C-alpha cells in the first residue's frame, strides 16, 4: 500500500463507561484498551478478511451487529461490485453508522476492515501469495472504532459522529507505479461516487485510522493530510500535545500516503490520516506491513489506548452546532 473465537458479539462487555477527565480537562467515557484489543482479536480470529470470502462476510456481520448492540441510530450497508487491477470482480460491502443523527455538526471516522490477499512484502518469496492476518493493517483501526462506538453509545457527545468501515482498501496492485494508485481504496472510491450526503449534510471533517495498533507506534503528521486538511491536523495534534500521549503524536511531518483520506478529501470533506508512517526500523511503515508477521503478537494495547483517548478528546470537545 503506498498507503493502507467465542464470546459476545460486542467484545468485552465488562468495559466500563465511566466519564473521566484527562489532562486536557475534557470529560468523556473511558477508552478501554482491553476492549479495543478484544475487538482486534475477534476480527483476526475470522481469518484473513479478503473480499469475497466467508471470513470477510463474518467480519462484516460482526461489525454491523456490534454497532447495533452499541445503539447506533442507523447502521446500513452500501454494496456494489468493482473490478480490481487484475481484472477480478470483487464485491464491496461498505458499513456505515451514525450516532446523534439529529446533530447539525457531524464528524466522520473511518477505517478499512478488509485485509491484504497477499503477503507481498514477505522476505520468503515462496510465501508471498499467502493472505495476511491484518491485525494492524485493518483490524486495529476497526478495533479502535468499535471501542469508540461502545463509549459513544453509552454517553453521547454533543457532536454527531458518523462511522465508515470501508471495504476493498487493500487489494491494490503490488506495483502501483505501473498500475496506478487508484487500484487502492476501491470501497471509498465507490462511496465518493455515491456520496450519502447532500452538500449541507457533509461532515465538518473526517479522521482515518490505519495501522494504529503496532508495538511502540508513533504517528507523525501525515504529509498529504497536512497539505489537504491542515486545520484538522492542527486540531488533532494540538489535542494530542495537551494529552498524556503527546509522545505518540510527534509534531513533525511523516510520509505521504495514498489511503482512503485522499478520496474523502475529493468529496469536499477535509480528512486526515492517523497512520504509522515513520517507523525507525524501516523509515516508513512498520516491519510487519504486508507480511505474515502482521498478527496479534505485534498489537500493543498502549498504542490502541493512545489513539483512542486522543480520539475521545477530539470528539467530546466538539460543539454540537
Angle between helices 301-316 and 141-154 (to 10 degrees): 50
> What average pLDDT does range 124-152 have in this prediction?
97
* Contact call for residues 82 and 186 (beta carbons, < 8 A): yes
DSSP 197-250: S-TTTS-SEEEEEES--BTT----B-HHHHHH-HHHHHHHHHHHHTSTTGGGS-
Residues 6 or more apart in contact with residue 223 via CB below 8 angstroms = 253, 254, 255, 256, 257
| pLDDT on residue 208 | 98
| pLDDT on residue 17 | 45
pLDDT over 60 (residue 18): no
Helix (H) or strand (E) holding 301: helix 301-316
pLDDT over 50 (residue 6): no
Q: Which residues pair with 291 in a beta bridge?
A: none
> What band does 5 get if pLDDT is binned at 50, 70 and 90?
very low
pLDDT over 80 (residue 284): yes
Average pLDDT taken over every residue of the chain: 91
Q: For the chain, how many residues are written?
A: 321
| CA proximity to 33, closest of 41, 45, 43 | 41
Q: Which residues pair with 83 in a beta bridge?
A: 89
pLDDT over 90 (residue 63): yes
Q: pTM here? A: 0.92
Domains and CATH numbers, the chain: 19-316 (3.40.630.10)
Cα separation of 289 and 304, whole Å? 17
pLDDT over 80 (residue 178): no
Amino acid at each position: 500500500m503506498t498507503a493502507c473465537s467465542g464470546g459476545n458479539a460486542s467484545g468485552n462487555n465488562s468495559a466500563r463507561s465511566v466519564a473521566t477527565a484527562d489532562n486536557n480537562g475534557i470529560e468523556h467515557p473511558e477508552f478501554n484498551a482491553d476492549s479495543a484489543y478484544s475487538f482486534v482479536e475477534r476480527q483476526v480470529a475470522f481469518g484473513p478478511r479478503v473480499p469475497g470470502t466467508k471470513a470477510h462476510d463474518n467480519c462484516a456481520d460482526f461489525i454491523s451487529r456490534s454497532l447495533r448492540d452499541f445503539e447506533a441510530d442507523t447502521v446500513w450497508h452500501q454494496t456494489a461490485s468493482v473490478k480490481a487491477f487484475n481484472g477480478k470482480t470483487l464485491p464491496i460491502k461498505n458499513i456505515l453508522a451514525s450516532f446523534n443523527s439529529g446533530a447539525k455538526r457531524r464528524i466522520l471516522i473511518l477505517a478499512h476492515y478488509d485485509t491484504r490477499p497477499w503477503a507481498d512484502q514477505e522476505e520468503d518469496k515462496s510465501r508471498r501469495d499467502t493472505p495476511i492476518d491484518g491485525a494492524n493493517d485493518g483490524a486495529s483501526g476497526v478495533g479502535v472504532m468499535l471501542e469508540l462506538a461502545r463509549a459513544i453509545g453509552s454517553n453521547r457527545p454533543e457532536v454527531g459522529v458518523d462511522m465508515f468501515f470501508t471495504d476493498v482498501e487493500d487489494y491494490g496492485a503490488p506495483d502501483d507505479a505501473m498500475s496506478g494508485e487508484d487500484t487502492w481504496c476501491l470501497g471509498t472510491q465507490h462511496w465518493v461516487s455515491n456520496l450519502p450526503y447532500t452538500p449541507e449534510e457533509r461532515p465538518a471533517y473526517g479522521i482515518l485510522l490505519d495501522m494504529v495498533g503496532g508495538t511502540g507506534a508513533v504517528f507523525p503528521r501525515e504529509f498529504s493530510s497536512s497539505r489537504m486538511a491542515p486545520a484538522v491536523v492542527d486540531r488533532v495534534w494540538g489535542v494530542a500535545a495537551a494529552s498524556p500521549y503527546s509522545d505518540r503524536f510527534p509534531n513533525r511531518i511523516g510520509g505521504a500516503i495514498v489511503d482512503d483520506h485522499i478520496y474523502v478529501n475529493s468529496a469536499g470533506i477535509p480528512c486526515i490520516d492517523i497512520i504509522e508512517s515513520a517507523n525507525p526500523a524501516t523509515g516508513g511503515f512498520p516491519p510487519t506491513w504486508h507480511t505474515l508477521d502482521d498478527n496479534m503478537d505485534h498489537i500493543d494495547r498502549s498504542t490502541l489506548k493512545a489513539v483512542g483517548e486522543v480520539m475521545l478528546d477530539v470528539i467530546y470537545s466538539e460543539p454540537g452546532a
